[in-house]
């Protein structure tokens, strides 16, 4: 099971949620504020965060937005008290997976955590894939990127050579290098990788 993190400024809520999850044989780590959570947790790994919406300092919504802006693969479940339901619904539009009302229903929480685990693992693998594409692209020279772009436009080597005013053999070598560095065997695979990186 991936790690589960609880962030709520109410120690009683943290204790009761931890106790409930311990009963499901799930270990958790609790934090009384967003800053403590961000200081100690690697948000680039797979994980599940249960965030209280209303907290002093960085509230749950601001923390949710922070995690999304950093492309964290975390599954995020919001905790809401009375009167913040509309706010909770709004957080789903901002990328939260779902929300729970206090006091938390254990059965609903258990079902949500099963979904959250699958989602964060999917997100994590997807992010690793995107990071690997970015890493490969970072190893291309500016000339190789230029040639790659023209290849993806469907231009023939001789056309690229003419437009860049360099020899066709040089273009062939650049093209070969692009394929090697991007670890693809044809233009279709290359186009797929570039399309995925822009999603």
Which pLDDT belongs to residue 41?
97
pTM exceeding the 0.75 threshold for the entire prediction: yes
> Helix, strand or coil for residue 96?
coil
- Which residue range(s) make up the domain with 171? 139-197
Q: Which of 128, 150, 185 is the last residue of a domain?
A: 128
Residue 159: CA count within 13 A, CB half-sphere: 7
Residues 15 and 98 in one domain: yes
In a domain, 133, yes or no: no
Q: Are 28 and 5 in contact (CB under 8 A)?
A: yes
Residues 31 and 83 in one domain: yes
Q: What is the mean pLDDT of the chain?
A: 93
Q: Are 88 and 59 in contact (CB under 8 A)?
A: no
Residues 79 and 146 in one domain: no
Ramachandran sector of residue 106 (left: φ over 0; alpha: ψ -120 to 50; beta: rest): alpha
Residues 115 and 165 in one domain: no
Which pLDDT belongs to residue 124?
96
In a domain, 22, yes or no: yes
Which pLDDT belongs to residue 84?
76
Residues of the chain with pLDDT under 70: 1, 83
In a domain, 134, yes or no: no
Residues 45 and 84 in one domain: yes
Residues 123 and 171 in one domain: no
In a domain, 189, yes or no: yes
Q: Are 31 and 37 in contact (CB under 8 A)?
A: yes
Measured between its terminal Cα atoms, the distance across the chain in Å is 28
Residues 51 and 121 in one domain: yes
Residues 82 and 156 in one domain: no
Say how many domains are in the chain.
Answer: 2
CATH number for the domain that contains residue 193: 1.10.10.10
Residues 104 and 146 in one domain: no
Q: Are 164 and 151 in contact (CB under 8 A)?
A: no
CATH number for the domain that contains residue 100: 3.40.50.2300
Q: Which of 85, 105, 128 is the last residue of a domain?
A: 128
Output the CA torsion 54→79→125→193 (10° steps).
-60
Q: What is the pLDDT of residues 162-191, one digit of tens each?
A: 999 999 999 999 999 999 999 999 999 999
- The closest of 157, 185, 181 to 171, measured between CA atoms, is 157
Residues 20 and 63 in one domain: yes
Q: Are 34 and 63 in contact (CB under 8 A)?
A: yes
Residues 107 and 191 in one domain: no
């Amino acid at each position: 099971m991936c790690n589960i993190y609880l962030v709520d400024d109410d120690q009683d809520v943290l204790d009761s949620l931890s106790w409930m999850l311990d009963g499901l044989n799930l270990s958790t780590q609790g934090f009384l504020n967003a800053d403590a959570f961000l200081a100690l947790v690697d948000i680039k790994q797979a994980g599940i965060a249960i965030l209280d919406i209303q907290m002093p300092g960085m509230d749950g919504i601001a923390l949710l937005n922070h995690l999304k802006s950093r492309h964290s693969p975390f599954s995020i479940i919001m905790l809401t008290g009375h009167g913040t339901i509309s706010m909770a619904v709004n957080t789903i539009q901002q990328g939260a997976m779902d929300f729970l009302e206090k006091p938390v229903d254990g059965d609903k929480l258990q079902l949500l955590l099963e979904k959250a685990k699958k989602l964060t693992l999917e997100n994590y693998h997807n992010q690793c894939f995107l990071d690997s594409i970015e890493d490969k692209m970072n190893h291309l020279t500016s000339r190789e990127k230029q040639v790659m772009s023209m290849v993806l436009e469907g231009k023939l080597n001789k056309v690229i050579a003419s437009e860049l005013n360099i020899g066709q053999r040089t273009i062939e070598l650049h093209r070969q290098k692009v394929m090697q560095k991007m670890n693809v065997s044809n233009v279709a695979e290359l186009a797929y990788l570039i399309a995925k990186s822009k999603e």
